[in-house]
Chain A
Amino acid sequence: MKSVKYFAAAIVAAATIGGASISHAATLDDVRAAGALKCGINTGLPGFAYTDDSGNWTGFDAAFCRAVAAAVFGDGNKVQFVNLTGANRFPALASGEIDLLSRNTTWTFSRDVDLAFTFVGVNYYDGQGFIGRKSLGVKSAKELDGASVCIQTGTTTELNLADFFRVNNIKFEPVPIETNEEARVAYLADRCDVYTTDASGLAATKTTFENADAHMVFPEIISKEPLGPLVRQGDDQWADVARWTLNVLINAEEYGVTQANVAEMAKGTNNPEINRMLGSEGSLGEMLGLQKDWAANVIKAVGNYGEIFDRFLGPNTALALDRGQNALYTKGGLLYAPPMR
Chain B
Amino acid sequence: MANSRQESGFQIRRIWSDERARSALFQILVVLGLALLVAFFVANTMANLQARGMEPGFGFLQDPAFFEINQNLIEYASTSTFGRALVVGLLNTLLVSAAGIISATVIGFLAGVFRLSNNWLVGRLIGVYVEFTRNVPVLLQIIFWWSILTGLPKVADSLSIGNSLFLNNRGVRMPAPILENGFGWVALAFLLGVFASYLVGRWARRRHMATGQPFPMLWVGLGLVVLPPLLLFVALGQPLDWDIPEKTRFNFRGGFNITPELVALWWALTTYTGAFISEIVRAGILSVSKGQSEAAHALGLRPGLTMRKIIIPQALRVIIPPLTSQYLNLTKNSSLAIAIGYQDLVSIGNTVLNQSGQAIEVVGIWMVVYLSLSLGTSAFMNWYNSHIALVER
- Which residues of A does B touch, CB under 8 Å? 3-4, 7, 10-11, 14-15, 18, 21-24, 86-88, 90-91, 94, 110, 114-116, 136, 143-148, 153-154, 158-159, 161-163, 165-166, 172-178, 182, 186, 189-191, 193, 232-234
Query: Judging by beta carbons under 8 Å apart, are B359 and A161 in contact?
Result: no
- 11 A-B residue pairs with CB within 8 Å: A10-B37, A11-B40, A18-B40, A94-B52, A143-B249, A153-B351, A162-B67, A163-B78, A166-B78, A191-B260, A234-B52
Partner of A153 from B37, B170, B249, B354 at Cβ < 8 Å: B354
Q: Does B292 contact A (CB under 8 A)?
A: no
Query: Judging by beta carbons under 8 Å apart, are B250 and A146 in contact?
Result: yes
The CA-CA distance from A216 to B170 in the complex, in Å, is 22
Partner of B52 from A7, A143, A233 at Cβ < 8 Å: A233
Hey, what's the 0/1 contact readout for B127-141 against A, CB within 8 Å counting as 1? 000000000000000
| Complex contacts, B48 vs chain A, CB 8 Å | 21-22
| Complex contacts, B151 vs chain A, CB 8 Å | 189
The CA-CA distance from A174 to B341 in the complex, in Å, is 10
Task: Give, as a whole number of angstroms, the nearest-CB distance from B353 to chain A.
Answer: 7
Query: Judging by beta carbons under 8 Å apart, are A11 and B37 in contact?
Result: yes
Task: Give, as a whole number of angstroms, the nearest-CB distance from A110 to chain B.
Answer: 8
Known: A86-B354, A90-B354, A159-B66. A176 touches B347 (CB 8 A): yes
Partner of A234 from B51, B154, B354 at Cβ < 8 Å: B51
Task: Give, as a whole number of angstroms, the nearest-CB distance from A185 to chain B.
Answer: 9
| Complex contacts, A86 vs chain B, CB 8 Å | 354
| Complex contacts, A144 vs chain B, CB 8 Å | 250
Query: Judging by beta carbons under 8 Å apart, are A153 and B30 in contact?
Result: no
Chain B interface residue bracket vs A = 35 or more
The CA-CA distance from A310 to B330 in the complex, in Å, is 51
| Complex contacts, B29 vs chain A, CB 8 Å | 4, 7
Give the A-B contact count at a CB cut-off of 8 A: 139
The CA-CA distance from A121 to B379 in the complex, in Å, is 55
Query: Judging by beta carbons under 8 Å apart, are B70 and A174 in contact?
Result: yes
Task: Give, as a whole number of angstroms, the nearest-CB distance from B361 to chain A.
Answer: 12
Hey, what's the 0/1 contact readout for B248-265 against A, CB within 8 Å counting as 1? 111101000100100000
- Which residues of B does A touch, CB under 8 Å? 26, 29-30, 33, 36-37, 40-41, 44, 47-48, 51-54, 66-70, 77-79, 147, 150-151, 154-155, 169-170, 248-251, 253, 257, 260, 338-339, 341, 343, 347, 350-351, 353-357, 359
Known: A116-B53, A153-B347. A163 touches B66 (CB 8 A): yes
The CA-CA distance from A87 to B36 in the complex, in Å, is 34
Given contacts A22-B48, A146-B253, A177-B341, 13 further A-B contacts (CB under 8 A): A3-B26, A15-B40, A88-B354, A114-B356, A153-B350, A166-B78, A173-B70, A174-B68, A176-B70, A189-B169, A190-B154, A190-B155, A191-B150
Residue of B nearest to A193 (CB): B250
Partner of A22 from B47, B54, B147 at Cβ < 8 Å: B47
Task: Give, as a whole number of angstroms, the nearest-CB distance from B164 to chain A.
Answer: 18
Known: A116-B53, A166-B79. A176 touches B343 (CB 8 A): yes
Partner of A162 from B54, B66, B154 at Cβ < 8 Å: B66
| Complex contacts, A11 vs chain B, CB 8 Å | 33, 36-37, 40
Partner of B359 from A22, A91, A173, A232 at Cβ < 8 Å: A91
| Complex contacts, B350 vs chain A, CB 8 Å | 87, 153-154
**Which 6 residue pairs across A and B have the least CB separation, nearest first?**
A154-B354, A162-B78, A115-B357, A147-B250, A18-B44, A189-B150
Query: Judging by beta carbons under 8 Å apart, are A94 and B357 in contact?
Result: yes
Known: A147-B250, A189-B150, A189-B151. A158 touches B36 (CB 8 A): no
Query: Judging by beta carbons under 8 Å apart, are B70 and A116 in contact?
Result: no
The CA-CA distance from A40 to B198 in the complex, in Å, is 62
Residue of A nearest to B52 (CB): A116
| Complex contacts, A88 vs chain B, CB 8 Å | 354
Task: Give, as a whole number of angstroms, the nearest-CB distance from A107 to chain B.
Answer: 15
The CA-CA distance from A176 to B339 in the complex, in Å, is 10
Query: Judging by beta carbons under 8 Å apart, are B37 and A22 in contact?
Result: no
Query: Judging by beta carbons under 8 Å apart, are A175 and B70 in contact?
Result: yes
| Complex contacts, B26 vs chain A, CB 8 Å | 3-4
Residue of A nearest to B338 (CB): A178
The CA-CA distance from A334 to B354 in the complex, in Å, is 29
Query: Judging by beta carbons under 8 Å apart, are A148 and B78 in contact?
Result: no
Residue of A nearest to B359 (CB): A91
